[in-house]
Structure 1
């Protein structure tokens, strides 16, 4: 079995990944992040892999997801312009149950590959939001309002940030976290996700 570019995915499976175009996406004024980098559509082989990564104790998947995302980032943006990388916080009870924060594992790995300072500790949860994926789309925006806080504003002031999540569905979580980061002085936030349920144009 041959593997693609020395990552843990065979060439046949790699060919089934629904990659998105190599470009920065702008989702408009309704979102607090400035632009978005997304690896692929949330469908098929990637949808199955992310579910196993999150819910079936497959933390080692972060290496493949992280390497693919790092490659995408290098293609679409100038990493020298980015100061710090931050992952979306996970509810403590959920993280204890799962044993890891899937977004942090990817964020930490990308930071090493791209040599960008990892500062996930600066962003925390102000309250438990429940499981977003189980909620109707119309409720997701209001559910995350006021749910996140910047614990160390001095660490983000004047910084350009990569904000990492596993899936961009409505974009509400990434947008709310971007909002509080900007309120604390971040000058630019780029949302970065493995997969998107949104249709980009």
Structure 2
């Protein structure tokens, strides 16, 4: 009943959440015209790491997706996690990732930054993926304890220094021996995922696979 009521009050099933077009042929919250602006890659990104097994991303970081990501992260359009989540699920299916994971964790933000924004964009994606894959989502265990400056314009060395010691595990027993899918919205250098994976592996995780919507990293 609640689902039916929500669909009547918030009828998003047949609305493109990128452009707000409405028609019955829309799938995955994306209309045909907007989908044509996406460059689907389903690509593995290479980083020099002994902690993370592999990382995949879904889309090219083109002009269209840059604008949508800006809206998602900075302009309060948090509902975009739905089409983004659908796109990432296609990558997970394409690369057969689901069969290799036990639990899902997202890259955390500092609680002060999350309070200012109102949400963690990686968490929203992880919740959507977890629900659709029917895989457990582990929340508030991998945490970010150190406030760091915005990383978007930092080089790799600065990012490594900036993030060192930023993440902690609250309860290692919840990840011990687990194969983890680590979710983020964008990969730039891979340093953030690598540092999170280092903490996860050093606290008993068996394996970490990364997934992101897009990447600005030059492979």
TM-score (ref. length: structure 2):
0.84
Deviation at 1:110, TM superposition (A): 0.3
Deviation at 1:106, TM superposition (A): 0.5
What is the SS of the residue equivalent to 1:117?
coil
Of the three residues 11, 17, 23, the one matched with 2:38 is 17
CA distance in 2, matches of 1:142, 1:92: 20
Residues 4, 125 of structure 1: CA spacing in aligned structure 2 closer, same or farther, 3 A cutoff? farther
Q: Runs in 1 of length 4+ with deviation above 4 angstroms?
A: 1-5
Match in the other structure for 2:70: 51
Match in the other structure for 2:6: none
Deviation at 1:50, TM superposition (A): 0.7
Deviation at 1:9, TM superposition (A): 1.9
Deviation at 1:10, TM superposition (A): 1.6
Q: What is the correspondence of 1:98-109 to structure 2 with a 5 Å cutoff?
A: 98-109=117-128
CA distance in 2, matches of 1:54, 1:165: 12
CA distance in 1, matches of 2:25, 2:146: 41
Residues 114, 130 of structure 1: CA spacing in aligned structure 2 closer, same or farther, 3 A cutoff? same
CA distance in 1, matches of 2:185, 2:115: 18
Superposed CA RMSD in Å reads 1.7
Deviation at 1:67, TM superposition (A): 1.1
Q: What is the correspondence of 1:171-182 to structure 2 with a 5 Å cutoff?
A: 171-182=190-201
CA distance in 1, matches of 2:91, 2:97: 11
Q: What is the correspondence of 1:23-102 to structure 2 with a 5 Å cutoff?
A: 23=43, 25=44, 27-30=46-49, 32-102=51-121
Q: Does 1:8 align with 2:29?
A: yes
Q: Deviations over 1:158-201 (max 9, x none)?
A: 0000101111001111100000000011111011101101133x
Match in the other structure for 1:146: 165
Unaligned runs of 5+ in 2: 1-20
Unaligned runs of 5+ in 1: none
Deviation at 1:57, TM superposition (A): 0.4
The answer to whether the 8 Å contact 2:110/2:145 transfers is no
Residues 139, 28 of structure 1: CA spacing in aligned structure 2 closer, same or farther, 3 A cutoff? closer
Count of aligned pairs: 198
Match in the other structure for 1:198: 217
Comparing both structures, which one devotes a greater share of its residues to helix? Answer: 1
What is the SS of the residue equivalent to 2:84?
helix
Match in the other structure for 1:133: 152
CA distance in 2, matches of 1:3, 1:87: 33
Residues 121, 31 of structure 1: CA spacing in aligned structure 2 closer, same or farther, 3 A cutoff? same
